[in-house]
Amino acid sequence: DQQVKQNSPSLSVQEGRISILNCDYTNSMFDYFLWYKKYPAEGPTFLISISSIKDKNEDGRFTVFLNKSAKHLSLHIVPSQPGDSAVYFCAASVYNNNDMRFGAGTRLTVKP
């Protein structure tokens, strides 16, 4: 069963604007969430994470928001840059348990 869902396969935004990538999960036991970025012909690279004790975590242009009641998280990229064009995977797990579940990914295209 798909415990982590990214319902938008693709997203296109203009350079300088905000990119918002969404992720939903079904397992209420998940308490640690991560975003990975993947360029073509490379493996996924860790971008940002958030634990369930927080509702927001910020790192430069990247902010992740967590809504536990809705079982929803989102990644905001502001401002978006052409180099941000990649596939973004949402992942979830129980903290300190290495069983991580990934969404199907969202392909972000940032147009100059």
In the complex, the smallest distance separating the C-beta of residue 72 from other proteins, rounded to whole angstroms, is 17
Site residues, other proteins (CB under 8 A): 4, 6, 9, 32, 34, 36, 41-46, 49, 51, 89, 91, 93, 95-100, 102-105
Cβ-based nearer residue to other proteins, 10 or 14: 10
Task: Give yes or no for a contact between 109 and 19, defined as CB atoms under 8 angstroms apart.
Answer: no
Query: Closest CB to other proteins among 69 and 96?
Result: 96
DSSP collapsed to 3 states, 50-97: EECCCCEEEECCEEEEEECCCCEEEEEECCCCHHHCEEEEEEEECCCC
